[in-house]
Structure 1
Amino acid sequence: MERSQAPRILITRLSAIGDCVLTLPVACALRRQFPDAMLAWVVEPAGAQLLRGHPCIDELIIIDKRWYKSPSVIWDLRRRLRSYQFDIALDPQSLSKSSLLGWLSGAARRIGFSPPFGRELAPWLNNEPVTRTNSHVVPGNLQLLAPLGVTSPDVQFRLTAEPAAEAKIDGWLEQAGISSGFALLNIGASCDARRWPEERFGALATLIERRRGLRSVVAWAGQERAAAERAVAASAGNAILAPDTNLQELVAISQRAKLFVGSDTGPLHIAVAVGTQCVGIYGVTNPAVSGPYGARHRIVTGPEIEWPDALKQPFGKGRSDDNGIMRMIPATSVALACDELSSAAA
């Protein structure tokens, strides 16, 4: 078989969780276009937990988060990457770190974004620039495939949980007496500016039970337990605390939920990827860039927010400790979005 029909392709999306999820359609489209290709993905440990076992990925190349700090590690990684003899490196992240990995791999074709989506050293290290004309991350990432003859592919995620994770979640749901559908509320956020107040989640749980007859499960991980407990305490008995979940277990519980509510975080995009209806609560990040992808979801934003042109200023205002915009969004507004999903599904 000719190499053009079975190319060896490297994806360089290192992090974060949500961005890894939003890059999965690239892997799925590549697998459909090149069923015999060898497809590898270089990723940091957190993302590897999510991508493990994905049907479109032949190999995960897991690297330490600070790999670029050590010349000896860089040299070893170069040798490791070149052993795969990659033909193509795809760089949806298009930053210095990700583009350097493509360059180290020795791939002759290194496809990445031109500015403003290609940043730092990426426009110099990648040798096939693509101008992104779609503001949203999902179809925007898929534009990287145009040089490979892949245009307007169907969006697929093909994200499923491992059997052990499914068994754990099914056992917990049975023990909790939840069998007829539930709303999954994710209180976590990657920075305080994206955090919706815990008491609003509690009030929302009461509204969801009253309007849709669904009990709510409050998801959390790591140090978020205290915040999740406060949300449950504010729910007047209409929400319960989820177990501590790893990413595979989060995939499993999201698959089983009838509704997901959360801010612009990895868990929201996981829920979208597994087909659960979602309401995304957005403050400082632009939903035109990273909103829940697809028409079956809803977005709630703060009042009178004017977003900049997403193709000229796609990266928002960065991380912040101020969640003032999120605090302006009442539980009733989010509940109305949940009602819209219920009406659309009827």
Structure 2
Amino acid sequence: MKAYKNILVIKMSSLGDVLHALPTLYALRQNCPDARIVWAVHEQFAPVLPGRPYIDEVIYVDKKRLKSLSYWKELRRTLHAFHFDVSFDLQGLAKSAIVAFLSGARERYGYWEMREGSFLVSKGLTGPHKYDHVIERYLDTVRVLGGRVDAVEFPLPDICGEKQAWRQRLAADGLTGPYVAIVPGARWNVKEWPLSHWQAFLQRLTASGMAAVLLGSGDDVPKGKALKDHDSSGRVFDYTGRTDLRQLMAAIAESTLYISADTGPLHIANALKKELIALFGPTCPQRTGPYGGNDDAYIHMVLSPTSQATPERPLVDDPDCMAQITPDMLWQVYEGVLKKVKL
């Protein structure tokens, strides 16, 4: 791989997608240790990005202003000041193509699956993992350019302060022991596990003496409230909509186990190498599920028996698919995981 001096990585959204791109960042830094690496991102997802030595600068891209030519001029001035040798468009969409075009980078690359005309701006690179997990697809951009990829690593920000504050917050709310972190929602309704299933599982979980901490965005608040209201044990603690991204990372990091369907926080748990259980139905885990490379013993899957998703057809709009995962199926996996984790 060339000894690039100024590298632009473009991956602006969403949460899971940004986290999927972190192993490529790690590989770029390993191959170009002296380069200045800049990441273009939507501001709300920036908290999961690491600082130095992996990223030297972060550029916030305002999605709402990308249709404005005056904003293009402003963004062009900002980007050109870095004198980029190369850009890596790991989004592969029209919005990221605009950023790559305005960057002034002499070389512009992306992974092979370039959509919405982005292939007209950046060259899609096809490697040996064309139909594998999206993390490997991104890493192929480094491989094709002659770079070495020795490991799948997720460089993350330091959250030691957030973890300490989180434990203090839990103690103030009456929780001092182990807990299972649960995110009951998902970005798309079709990927959600039914609330009635969560209620049945939580009833069994709390009856066993384990506490549950509910997490998620503001959109998950109604689900969190419904699950909390259904609880009679006092062991369900609802923090949906009450954490920022760094606090969410801390809450997951401090848990004994993480459980959710296919949603952004699942990939935080994966990046943290937290023991996790992932519920999958209409989406394909081989393409976008939690991925640990050769070190994946912490990843446990519960797949819907009616799932039809494949790497070639990664999303199947089946509203009943997730309901086919029963609380008993999850409980069986949970019991198996509990035997290996240290409380």
Q: Structure 2-normalised TM-score?
A: 0.89
Q: Which residue of 1 aligns with 2:213?
A: 217
Q: Which residue of 1 aligns with 2:263?
A: 265
Using the alignment, how far apart are the partners of 2:340 and 2:162 within structure 1? 31
Residue 332 of structure 1 and its aligned partner are, at CA, apart by: 1.4
Q: Which residue of 2 aligns with 1:24?
A: 22
For structure 2, list consecutive stretches of 5 or more residues without a partner in the other structure: none
Using the alignment, how far apart are the partners of 1:119 and 1:344 within structure 2? 43
Q: Taking every aligned residue pair, what percent have the same amino acid on both sides?
A: 27
Using the alignment, how far apart are the partners of 2:213 and 2:52 within structure 1? 27
Q: Which residue of 1 aligns with 2:58?
A: 60
Using the alignment, how far apart are the partners of 2:194 and 2:230 within structure 1? 11
Q: Which residue of 1 aligns with 2:126?
A: 130
Residues 176 and 65 (structure 1), Cα distance of their counterparts in 2 relative to 1, 3 Å cut? same
Residue 250 of structure 1 and its aligned partner are, at CA, apart by: 0.3
Greater Cα shift, 246-255 or 177-186: 177-186
Which one of 38, 43, 46 corresponds to residue 45 of structure 1? 43
Match of 2:308, SS?
Answer: coil
Using the alignment, how far apart are the partners of 2:124 and 2:63 within structure 1? 26
Q: Is the 8 A contact 1:109 1:128 kept in 2?
A: no
Using the alignment, how far apart are the partners of 1:247 and 1:71 within structure 2? 31
Q: Which residue of 2 aligns with 1:341?
A: 337
Letter in 1 for 2:313: Q
Match of 1:90, SS?
Answer: strand
Letter in 1 for 2:146: G
Letter in 2 for 1:70: S
Using the alignment, how far apart are the partners of 1:248 and 1:323 within structure 2? 32
Residue 4 of structure 1 and its aligned partner are, at CA, apart by: 4.6
Q: Is the 8 A contact 1:202 1:236 kept in 2?
A: no
Using the alignment, how far apart are the partners of 2:164 and 2:22 within structure 1? 24
Match of 1:66, SS?
Answer: helix
Match of 1:57, SS?
Answer: coil
Q: Is the 8 A contact 1:110 1:126 kept in 2?
A: yes
Using the alignment, how far apart are the partners of 1:158 and 1:90 within structure 2? 18
Letter in 2 for 1:47: F
What is the CA deviation profile of residues 170-229 of structure 1, one whole-angstrom value per residue up to 9, with x for unaligned ones?
211222343332100101211211121223223222333455x42111113324222102
| 1:135-284 paired onto structure 2 within 5 Å | 135-162=132-159, 164-210=161-207, 213-237=209-233, 238-242=235-239, 244-284=242-282
Using the alignment, how far apart are the partners of 2:160 and 2:199 within structure 1? 31
Q: Is the 8 A contact 1:15 1:43 kept in 2?
A: yes
What is the CA deviation profile of residues 4-36 of structure 1, one whole-angstrom value per residue up to 9, with x for unaligned ones?
535211111110011101111111121222221
Using the alignment, how far apart are the partners of 1:147 and 1:329 within structure 2? 40
Residue 45 of structure 1 and its aligned partner are, at CA, apart by: 1.6
Residue 55 of structure 1 and its aligned partner are, at CA, apart by: 4.6
Match of 2:21, SS?
Answer: helix
Q: Is the 8 A contact 2:27 2:148 kept in 1?
A: no
Residue 324 of structure 1 and its aligned partner are, at CA, apart by: 2.2
Letter in 1 for 2:224: A
Using the alignment, how far apart are the partners of 1:55 and 1:202 within structure 2? 44
Residue 42 of structure 1 and its aligned partner are, at CA, apart by: 0.3
- Runs of 4+ in structure 1 off by over 6 angstroms are none
Q: Is the 8 A contact 1:6 1:35 kept in 2?
A: no
Which one of 305, 328, 331 corresponds to residue 327 of structure 2? 331
Using the alignment, how far apart are the partners of 1:223 and 1:112 within structure 2? 32
What is the CA deviation profile of residues 57-113 of structure 1, one whole-angstrom value per residue up to 9, with x for unaligned ones?
111100111232101111221121111011111111112221231121111221112
Using the alignment, how far apart are the partners of 1:156 and 1:18 within structure 2? 15
Residue 344 of structure 1 and its aligned partner are, at CA, apart by: 4.7
Using the alignment, how far apart are the partners of 1:299 and 1:345 within structure 2? 16
Q: Which residue of 2 aligns with 1:313?
A: 313
Using the alignment, how far apart are the partners of 2:246 and 2:53 within structure 1? 15
Q: Is the 8 A contact 1:25 1:142 kept in 2?
A: yes
Match of 1:69, SS?
Answer: coil
Residue 285 of structure 1 and its aligned partner are, at CA, apart by: 1.2
Q: Which residue of 2 aligns with 1:5?
A: 3
How many residues align structurally? 335
Q: Which residue of 2 aligns with 1:121?
A: 117
Residues 44 and 191 (structure 1), Cα distance of their counterparts in 2 relative to 1, 3 Å cut? same
Greater Cα shift, 153-162 or 251-260: 153-162
